[in-house]
Amino acid sequence: MQAEYVIVGAGSAGCAMAYRLAEAGKKVIVIEHGGTDAGPFIQMPAALSYPMNMKTYDWGFMTEPEPHLGGRTLVTPRGKVIGGSSSINGMVYVRGHARDFDHWAEQGADGWSYADVLPYFKRQESWHDGGHGGDSDWRGSDGPLHVTRGPRKNPLFHAFVEAGQQAGYPVTGDYNGQQQEGFGPMEQTVWQGRRWSAANAYVRPAQKTGNCEVVRAFARKVVIEDGRATGVEVERGGKIEVIKAQGEVIIAASSINSPKLLMLSGIGPAAHLKEHGIEVVADRAGVGQNLQDHLEVYMQYASKQPITLFRYWNLFWKGVLGAQWLFTKKGLGASNQFESAAFIRSREGIEYPDIQYHFLPIAVRYDGQAAAEGHGFQAHVGPMRSPSRGEITLKSSDPKEAPRIFFNYMSTDQDWEDFRTCLRLTREIFAQDAFEPFVKHEIQPGVNYQSDDELDDFIREHAESAYHPCGTCRMGRADDPTAVVDPEMRVIGVEGLRLADSSVFPRITNGNLNAPSIMVGEKASDHILGRKLPRANEGPWINPDWETSQR
């Protein structure tokens, strides 16, 4: 088996690259270990808590015990299915803040500033505002990825935005447009009632060109001959074989599996590779380092009125809504229920938002367990730019063994200070008049948690990953010893090998990572094809009083 380009991983970035390369007439093979994404658990937006907890669709990774979170081990879901994590995620669409990408460029990712990436965000989108306003000049209208907004029928979605306004924060009609900062509608990758994953947006159209084939196989390592990647060794149907690349091998296997695959192929920190008896092809100290994520807590409130989604939280109603969705693709099943959002700054002197909110009109856990109080609602909140850094390392040289995942969450004083600020600012929002008709009492953490120590105890016990791991194969200048790929996505020190997914982020972006991961795939495909979209001229809105005020 061979093709011009062999891509490892049919996730957000891999699917985008497969489509753009196939569209340009290149022959592409995409290697994906997971199987089909057909079936209601993945395609029905409201069922999002299911695929994330199903072994069929998830790699099932766990972290090492996290010392600053009381030794807890946390689940680290990654999609093992066509579409990758875009097939099991919460479908929230956030590009990231303009300044995130400007920071990338400052860190040596030349050509990746906001002006450089905005045209790719536009190219990937078909944006539908649903009559809710927004910045059409900043958005794309004919890309493969449909981006929509939920109907926001529940009064709680509006109470959340109104409360933000009453607390003195701006309102934004489009956090993916000129102004991220503020309270407003949340966007989702849902189209005509279905999850619009990278599989639906990119891989199916790629396969229709006749130039792209998806092969179900387990990638063991990149085959490197005389310093050049020539193919990928895979296991398929119990046999080990090599899928050859005439042009290039492209790794897009996730921020967990991409560094693992590089290390198994002899690319990584030399001492660590030798420890596992792996021959060193390229000594790259940065492989597996710089691991970042977003942590969040769920602030939950009991509701005075029975208007939350809790009334549907039983078998009868789940059956009714499921049937309605199956036959009409409409109703509550057609949304992820994250329909209002906010991005705010934690204090004065911070130039752009460093706190994100997802608002949900039910009090429930990610694994689908509803709060004991019944009717309630919640805000997911957490800091966006934690200074903590972790690492991905090998446990052994066996490709079948999961890597060692250590985030080192909450390892700095700044983390704790930022998180406490999140909790206190959130309480202030829910204390506004807009919530007076709805808030009965605080369920979690509960009013007993007030002092720094009490809040710290709550965070230690209840902080959860938002499932945004990234940064483990950082992009930078070719002479940067900590960089793994150059700004053209070429793995430094090996010919014919590129890597493009959320691993290349020098620093985590504001918000959920599916949108910027797809953008990386879109832009990487142009680097591979030797082309480039012209830079954008639009500049983001930055709060004019950011130096002196928090809102």
For residues 481-516, one letter each, b for 16 or more C-beta atoms within 10 angstroms of the residue's C-beta and e for the rest, the string is eebbbbbbbbbbebebbbbbbbbbbbbbbbbbbbbb
pLDDT band at 279 (very low <50, low <70, confident <90, very high): very high
CATH of 151-185+295-383+411-462, one of 3.40.190.10, 1.20.810.10, 3.30.310.220, 3.30.410.40: 3.30.410.40
Q: How far is CA 341 from CA 27, 171, 380, 409, in A?
A: 41, 10, 10, 24
Residues 107-144 pLDDT 10s: 999 999 999 999 999 999 999 987 777 889 999 999 99
- Known catalytic residues are 468
Query: Residue 82: its pLDDT value, please?
Result: 97
**What is the distance between the alpha carbons of residues 387 and 250, in angstroms, rounded to a whole number?**
30
The answer to whether residue 30 scores a pLDDT higher than 90 is yes
Average pLDDT over residues 444-467: 97
pLDDT band at 316 (very low <50, low <70, confident <90, very high): confident
Q: How far is CA 200 from CA 38, 82, 204, 252, in A?
A: 10, 9, 6, 18
Q: Any idea which fold 1-150+188-290+468-531 has?
A: FAD/NAD(P)-binding domain (3.50.50)
Query: Residue 315: its pLDDT value, please?
Result: 82
**What is the distance between the alpha carbons of residues 140 and 117, in angstroms, rounded to a whole number?**
13
Query: Residue 368: its pLDDT value, please?
Result: 65
297 contacts 423 by C-beta, under 8 angstroms: yes
Q: How far is CA 528 from CA 18, 51, 99, 488, in A?
A: 11, 33, 26, 8
Starting at the earlier edge strand, list the strands of the sheet with 145-149: 125-127, 145-149, 187-188
Average pLDDT over residues 418-424: 98
For residues 136-174, one letter each, b for 16 or more C-beta atoms within 10 angstroms of the residue's C-beta and e for the rest, the string is eebbbeebbbbbbbbebebebbebbbbbbeebebbebeb
Residues 338-393 pLDDT 10s: 999 999 999 999 999 999 999 999 998 766 666 667 899 999 999 999 999 999 99
Average pLDDT over residues 284-306: 97
The answer to whether residue 318 scores a pLDDT higher than 90 is no
Average pLDDT over residues 536-551: 96
Query: Residue 160: its pLDDT value, please?
Result: 98
Query: Residue 373: its pLDDT value, please?
Result: 78
Range(s) for CATH 3.30.410.40 in the chain? Answer: 151-185+295-383+411-462
| Average pLDDT score, the chain | 96
The 10 Å Cβ neighbour count of residue 306 is 9
**What is the distance between the alpha carbons of residues 351 and 384, in angstroms, rounded to a whole number?**
13
Range(s) for CATH 3.50.50.60 in the chain? Answer: 1-150+188-290+468-531
Q: Are strands 182-185 and 125-127 parallel, antiparallel or unpaired?
A: unpaired
Query: Residue 367: its pLDDT value, please?
Result: 65
Query: Residue 312: its pLDDT value, please?
Result: 86
The answer to whether residue 486 scores a pLDDT higher than 80 is yes
pLDDT band at 248 (very low <50, low <70, confident <90, very high): very high
pLDDT band at 314 (very low <50, low <70, confident <90, very high): confident
Q: Please count the residues of the chain.
A: 551
